Structure 1
Amino acid sequence: MSMILNISIANTFLELKKKCALVPFITAGDPNLSVTKEALKILAAEGADIIELGIPYSDPLADGPTIQAASSRALKNNIKFNDILGMVAEVTQEIETPLIAFTYYNLIINLGIENFILKIKQAGFRGLLVPDLPLEEIFILEEVCKQSKIELILLIGPNTSEDRIKKILQRAQGCVYLISNTGVTGMKLDPSKNIQARINFIKANTQIPLIVGFGISTPQDIQLVQSWGVDGIVMGSAFVKKLFESSTDKNLNQFKQYCQSVKNTLI
């Protein structure tokens, strides 16, 4: 049985006691699954509080060039979903850090919702994030996730209306993910004037932890976003890029050092 089955995403935030969580993202199978497995172990050892693992997909609409390229490399290597699940099932025996599966709705539909959720549950995933799934269509997936104790992480866009934010917060599980920028992942952080007001509004309307992502890559970005009073920071493209650059070294030392430096930037 996987070690992490009793550690939910919600409980992870409780254990952090208001410290800001580090939530890195990497793409499964880039450049291969053995590197992914080693990277997951490094992230867990070096202080990642929750890890998002991207399932390679041929048309990743929310992803910027860095993560698209990672997805493309993994698909060219003929990485299969079941191979990813097998690797995750192994690594979740060794790490306690909760894993969130990041994937697009087509993949879930193609496999069948109940089948997909059963598979990720058995592999040891604790959460699921589906960036192209609108609130109006989450009901079946939401119900299956609840039955399987998979926390379905919902997104709030930078232009989402206050009424819609309230509806999202009513359904949120584990944590809620605020997108800091209009656009795709990997863009430069644009701390627009309304982001703090948006965070304050979310905080005033829910007790659920709030994580923020898209465009966070430098120590300055991390410190700025942390100053907004969020519960966690998601970093994707920066980690994906560093992992690819480090992947010729079997010990992934550059990647390890990068993770340490990011963790040290968080208060």
Structure 2
Amino acid sequence: MTKYKMAAAFARVNEEGKKAFTAYIMAGDGGLHTLKETILLLEDAGVTIVELGIPFSDPVADGPVIQEAGKRALAEKVTLKAVLDELASIKDDISIPIVIMTYANPVFKFGAQNFADHCAAAGVSGVIIPDVPMEEEKEFKDPLSKHDIALIRFVTLTSSDERISETVNGAEGFIYAVTVNGITGARAGFAGDLSEHLARITEKSNVPVLAGFGVSSKEQAETLGAACDGVIVGSKIVSLLHEGRGHEIKNLVPGRVGVK
């Protein structure tokens, strides 16, 4: 699949006058046997990319909803290798780009090259490792680059203009623009100057900019999507799936994040 499949997905929604909608799910929440069915449900809902979280015992970036999903997956004995093996077995049945979200420790234990090789075999397009700063990304990025798999970079609300410029320079896949200070989870609202912040990042970046952390409604997706290239929704989707309300996910994808 590689990062080029992800780029093609972004190009497709852009040609349609829409914005990208990335859905985060926790791998193994409900058992790995449900993964294919869930990904196909997201495809049908109009999702552009699936961000697939790997359960981890110390998820520093995750809010309570995703932490609980991770605990449920860990109780099912779900591991990084098990997720990648399952993806490899179903990759021919899914067409949507997959981005793996994990932490540095599981990748270290697996081995960076071994991890990259397994990601390639699983058809992964990109990888997100939130606890690895740009200055320390090389040992992860180099093995992934051999397989044309993107390592996604973050821009936060506190990033200076200089830091934003450094981050977007050489960025691959997309920029993950963090919309709140803190962990993931639904928010009632955002800072008043957030749209301006997102627009500034988007202007500087040669890859799409997606706004994530706290996006939980169609209205928020529309508002934030208007200032950048799309949004990432996690906790709300994880909750809907856990509650057996996955059919409602399509209601979060405005116009399928369309520009009005």
Instruction: Calculate the TM-score normalised by the size of structure 1.
Output: 0.90
Aligned to 1:76: 75
Question: Could you say what secondary structure the match of 2:185 adopts?
Answer: coil
Deviations 1:56-101 (A, max 9, x none): 0000000000000000111111112222122211221111100000
RMSD value over aligned CA atoms?
1.6
Aligned to 1:255: 246
* 1:198-217 → structure 2 map (5 Å cutoff): 198-217=197-216
CA change 1:146–1:33 in 2 (3 A) is same
Aligned to 2:91: 92
Contact kept? 2:3, 2:148, Cα under 8 Å? no
Which consecutive aligned stretches of 4+ in structure 1 deviate over 6 angstroms post-superposition? Answer: none
* 1:1-20 → structure 2 map (5 Å cutoff): 4=1, 7-17=4-14, 18-20=17-19
Deviations 1:30-77 (A, max 9, x none): 021122221111111221111000010000000000000000111111
Gapped runs of 5+ residues in structure 1? 247-253
| Structure 2 Cα separation of the partners of residues 28 and 219 of structure 1 | 24
| Structure 1 Cα separation of the partners of residues 46 and 94 of structure 2 | 11
Contact kept? 1:189, 1:221, Cα under 8 Å? no
CA change 1:76–1:32 in 2 (3 A) is same
* 1:22-171 → structure 2 map (5 Å cutoff): 22-171=21-170
| Structure 2 Cα separation of the partners of residues 84 and 129 of structure 1 | 15
Instruction: Calculate the TM-score normalised by the size of structure 2.
Output: 0.93
- CA drift of 1:207 comes to 2.4
Question: Could you say what secondary structure the match of 1:260 adopts?
Answer: helix
| Identical-pair percentage | 29
CA change 1:7–1:215 in 2 (3 A) is same
Contact kept? 2:211, 2:225, Cα under 8 Å? no
Residues matched between the structures, number: 255
Contact kept? 1:7, 1:96, Cα under 8 Å? no
Gapped runs of 5+ residues in structure 2? none
Residue identity in the other structure for 1:67 = I
Residue identity in the other structure for 1:101 = I
Question: Could you say what secondary structure the match of 1:92 adopts?
Answer: helix
